[in-house]
Amino acid sequence: MTPNHDRPTLVWLRDDLRIADNPALAAAVAGGREIVALFVLDDLSPDLRPIGAASRWWLHRSLAAFARRFEAIGGRLCLRRGAAGEIVAAVAAEVDAAEVLWNRRYLPAAVAIDRDLKHRLRAEGRRVESFRAGLLHEPPTVTTAGGNAFRVFTPFWRACRATAPFRAPLPAPPAIRAARRPLPSLGLDELGLLPRTPYWAAGLDETWTPGEAGAAVRLARFLDHGLAGYAEGRDRPDRDHTSQLSPHLRFGEISPFTIAAAVAARVEADPSLGPDAEKFLAELGWREFAHHLTFHFGDLATRNFQPRFDAFPWVDDDRFVAAWRRGLTGYPIVDAGMRQLWATGTMHNRVRMVVASFLTKHGLIDWRDGERWFFDTLVDACPAVNPASWQWVAGSGADAAPYFRIFNPVSQGTKFDPAGDYVRRWVPELARLPASVIHAPWTASRATLEAAGLVLGRDYPAPIVDHTRARDRALTAFAATSAHR
């Protein structure tokens, strides 16, 4: 039976704001019907975590970039706001969609919304299909030999790597046949995603180009300048070795299949890149692992993965939290990271680990406080990766760093930012200090401080805690928790 082509295909876009390698969109084009493309800003579904302020800025720019590109090939993006399950069902009825397509997502609350909607739409006689798009390995397909979910990264990733090679990315459709009858849409500004008074996102505007084209530029740049030497260089915040693809991946402006295929092509051309490429893929693997954990074990943003941490004696210390947020702890590597975050919406991975360790171990502040701050301020804030990473650092997570591994912010700085360039960039008041003391200004002689034009306690704070004392306090607290096993 030939399909009734008056009834369109509804494509529901979510964390997949791209045209290339977008399986739901490709299937809609292949189906030959008119296409209605819909994005719903869902800040009403009670179980979905509302996105943070930096992510809202990104989403605004990303939707604008997608709409422009989509229109250039004949498409039209419809924007709505509300509880997504309700809105999608209403739009499907409004246009009398013959079929509704989307790419799958994996957070339990989102899975529940999608499952209910699927039943509802099918009951209404519409065809529904969903696709794998955002993860190389979908959580239900990777299990231990006994059929259980993995809790440890290395065997998880080994099992992933043992599966068939990744599928080739799908090309961008050359043209979209939009529905002739335009669907009423909110204007992008009506979603209210951008900050208003004050407009604090100028640093984000300078740093990022959200959208598919921006993602492609980042990938090309990484392949040319970052991949060779990545395995070692990725730990150096003073260098530019990492891809900066995380926010683009978070909003689905580029697919992991596209990234994996591009990396594989480079390795084919130059096999000496193999070890760097494996390391890079393993980082994508950590992203997959976080989604896997969230899918199988549920909420990681509010609940300790290891219940024995429920008894951990976290402290309330507003002064410590405020100094940490503002980059005024007196530990230069911590302060540089927190200021980079505030100015640009991102922070180097090594420094994320150092600042998270500093908050939870030197400050004994509950990791959930730090997770929430990151969630609001990071442009790549991911509801799966962010909590899993915080729990990893805090020691309460799956396959976590052992709690007693307490980063020394001075030696981390000297090791990974040896000349102090990263600190000089983000903590300009320390810029004239020599490398020998830049990670511990309180150890500088009076003459050195004078030569650098720096008065500690006036221009830059003295350390908020003593490292050795803080370390001992954290170990004592942890010992108390361990007793609750």
Cα angle 329, 376, 246 (rounded to 5 degrees) comes to 100
Q: Which is nearer to ligand FAD, 22 or 344 (CB)?
A: 344
Which positions are annotated as active-site residues?
Answer: 283, 286, 314, 349, 367, 390
Q: Which is nearer to ligand FAD, 80 or 236 (CB)?
A: 236
Q: What's the closest the beta carbon of residue 261 comes to ligand FAD, in angstroms? A: 15
Half-sphere exposure of 244 (CA within 13 A, CB side): 23
Q: How far apart are CA 297 and CA 460, in angstroms?
A: 43
Cβ contact 389:344 at 8 Å: no
Token pair for 145: 């030999």
Helix (H, G, I), strand (E, B) or coil at 176: coil
**Single-letter amino acid code for the residue at 388:** A
Cβ contact 218:235 at 8 Å: no
Instruction: Look at residues 165, 399, 349 and name the one whose alpha carbon lies nearest to residue 267.
Output: 165
Q: Which is nearer to ligand FAD, 256 or 420 (CB)?
A: 256
Task: For residue 45, give Cα distances in angstroms to 66, 187, 235, 406.
Answer: 24, 21, 38, 39
Q: Which is nearer to ligand FAD, 42 or 276 (CB)?
A: 276
> What is the DSSP track for 362-391?
IS---HHHHHHHHHHH-TT--TTHHHHHHH
Q: Which is nearer to ligand FAD, 20 or 89 (CB)?
A: 20
Q: Which is nearer to ligand FAD, 117 or 135 (CB)?
A: 135
Q: How far apart are CA 279 and CA 15, in angstroms?
A: 25
Q: How far apart are CA 252 and CA 246, in angstroms?
A: 10
Q: Which is nearer to ligand FAD, 61 or 287 (CB)?
A: 287
**Single-letter amino acid code for the residue at 335:** D
Half-sphere exposure of 45 (CA within 13 A, CB side): 23
Cβ contact 55:201 at 8 Å: no
Q: In what order do the strands lie in the sheet with 9-13?
A: 77-81, 35-41, 9-13, 99-103, 127-131
Q: Could you list the residues that contact ligand FAD (CB under 6 A)?
A: 234, 242-246, 249-250, 283-284, 286-287, 290, 349, 352-353, 356, 374, 378, 380-382, 385-386, 389-390, 393
User: In sequence order, which residues have a C-beta less than 8 Å from that of residue 132 and are 6 or more positions away?
Assistant: 23, 103, 104, 138
User: What distance separates the 2 farthest-apart alpha carbons in the chain?
Assistant: 88
Token pair for 415: 């090791």
